[in-house]
Chain A
């Protein structure tokens, strides 16, 4: 908690300028978020929270691409799902420690991201989205057919590998701290990237690509790098989820997963700092807490999305920010 306290203090001193790219309000929101991450497991079920954090990581990675570069990818399930398969497989069959297995998941995501990105960034808009979707469907079919994924049974009985080879992850709370640490690390990393000179170029590409080109930037290189970073973090998120639940299945690579992450980001607020996290929380909570109402899960989800699109188009956080005239 010391880090958040010091950020708040630092903000008080240098207000209203930004600190590490955070406005004072954002810094307070960050402190609140860190506090929530630290204290909610004593109230809510930790496995549910871990799932929220994994999807929050995934949504933040996706937001990096759509919110700051303006690229709508419909293929992120491929990175998420393959990350989850590779982590599960290596942890189960090679007995890798948790951090190595998750890292391999991320590297797999990034590796597929190189191929996808290299092919897809040559096109814009709907064509970009369609190419990523088509490639992701190919990955889905590979996962359906390949022997190592176990087809529709998935990879089961994945052990929660030890962290660094000696810290047991068997208890839910130990696993929770690992997931929380990973989430905060990548959340801050994405924020750092967005506010770096590199991130400024990404935003320039989003606003006006020909102009960025005329200023001498190789926009395709920037887009590709952003795509790879996003797919790397998506792979990490998938791998982490595989260790949390001890399974990797076709759900993670299915195109509905790509749709789900789009919905999370849209619901939370496109291009906002905290939007993807809130979106992930809302979608996961609906899946979890509406499960007892049977068929009403999908109906309620649909109704909420319709309301969201009609009533607050900027998403939950985007709309709050716009009302309060704050960037959140």
Chain B
């Protein structure tokens, strides 16, 4: 080494390294809480949660504001493959220091990731998950279930439609666990409240695109209400075909699992008169409107949040408040954090004041809506009229159901 003068590259490299280290040190001084948003960014559930859920989580973090810890958000697409979801979740927990995972669209992914969260003692907030298993036989001390489940959707719709006079039902149901569960739950509710189930058509899933024979069977049965126990593309197709047959003029259509993005997809002309249930609608009250106004600029296509997306907002906010209340070293214990979250009453603009139950289920009321006609609608996304409210403890599935957290 005769020439001791450092080269330009060395100086630059050193400078970069130094700034990098300085940045690390500065960040190292403040502890970091990491939130992972694991959802479907590219598949069939993209509209229900997807990028909108990420925007809602960011909104929650922004509203929570600055405390004595930093917050990082990680995003990943599980591609609706449970092994990909589990792989990412394990890597997040083991290597990237993630403390809480939310979104969790797709039941199989949600149940599997909740299991990983339990094994690693982290927190899982399922906000876009239909299955009731997550608060039933497969419940754990590390998982919470926000927004909705199939029980709530089926029960609230069936109960309120029967109460309002739609007594004779015919079900068109997708023949797989989800469809059968929706149909079973609503049929039981109809029967228990003085209604009658005149018949049910189970159609093969997936792959059915032609619903006319089932819809005509429903029409000739003499029922007042057709219950559609399906979701997504199937729901859209069956609604369109029911509209073509003019069924919506003669009978009530009730979707047992419909989202506002489905209504937006088919349009008001086709969807008008449809009955469906949600626990969140952007135009429900002053607070939901305020929350929607804040989050809409960052939402994809500036759409208002669905109930699943609102759930990720609400779940993240409650989690962060709890972490702040517990203090950071203590809040690294996932089970303790979940325990504290259950013990603390929740309050936010999306769902108002509510609380969490021992099995991890959120207790929020379910609202039955009727889709407006194009003439009634005042503007974009003005889609729903509220018909009835099912109180929170009636809308949630019964406590217990094999959950070990519930003392019999």
What is the chain A residue whose CB lies nearest that of B39?
A: A294
| A87-129 contact mask (Cβ, 8 Å, vs B): 1 or 0 | 0000000000000000000000000000000000000000000
Q: Which listed residue, A251, A288, A292, touches B82 by the CB 8 Å rule?
A: A251
**Are A45 and B95 CB-contacts (below 8 A) given A153-B133, A291-B88?**
yes
Q: Count the A-B residue pairs with Cβ separation under 8 angstroms: how many?
A: 103
**Is B178 part of the binding interface, using a Cβ–Cβ cutoff of 8 Å?**
yes
Say yes or no: A152 contacts B107, CB within 8 Å. yes
Contact B131 A295 (CB under 8 A): no
B328 within 8 A of A: no
Scoring B50, B83, B111 by chain A CB atoms within 10 A of each residue's CB, the highest score goes to B83
- Given contacts A247-B108, A251-B83, A295-B41, is CB(A157)–CB(B90) below 8 Å? no
Q: Are A245 and B51 in contact, with the CB atoms below 8 A?
A: no
A145, A246, A291: residue with the most chain B Cβ atoms closer than 10 Å:
A291
Tell me, yes or no, whether B197 is within 8 Å of chain A by CB: no
Q: How far is the CA of A287 from the CA of B42 in the complex (A)?
A: 12
Q: Tell me which residues across on chain A come within 8 A of B95, comparing CB atoms.
A: 45
B94: chain A residues at CB < 8 Å are 45, 47
Closest chain-B Cβ to A12's Cβ sits at a distance in Å of 40
A314 in contact (CB, < 8 A): no
How many Å lie between the Cα of A215 and that of B87 in the bound state? 51
Contact residues in B for A168 (Cβ distance below 8 Å): none
Interface size in chain A (residues, C-beta < 8 A): 30
Task: Across the interface, name the chain B residue whose C-beta is closest to A295.
Answer: B42
Is A294 in contact with B41, judged by CB distance below 8 angstroms? Answer: yes
A-side contacts of B131, CB under 8 Å: 153
Interface check B245, CB cutoff 8 A: no
**B25-42 interface mask toward A, CB cutoff 8 Å, 1 = contact, 0 = none?**
000000000000000011
Tell me the nearest residue of chain A to B84, going by C-beta.
A287
Q: Does A133 make an interface contact (CB < 8 A)?
A: no
Contacting residues, chain B, for A293 (C-beta < 8 A): 77
Chain A nearest CB from B183 CB (Å) reads 14
Which 6 A-B residue pairings sit nearest by Cβ, starting from the closest?
Answer: A151-B177, A294-B41, A295-B42, A291-B76, A154-B108, A249-B82
- A: residues with CB less than 8 A from B are 45, 47-48, 51, 144-145, 150-154, 156-157, 241, 245-247, 249-252, 287-288, 291-295, 297-298
19 A-B pairs in the complex with CB atoms less than 8 angstroms apart? A45-B90, A47-B94, A151-B178, A153-B177, A156-B108, A156-B115, A241-B83, A245-B82, A246-B86, A246-B112, A247-B112, A251-B80, A288-B88, A291-B79, A291-B88, A293-B77, A294-B75, A295-B41, A298-B42
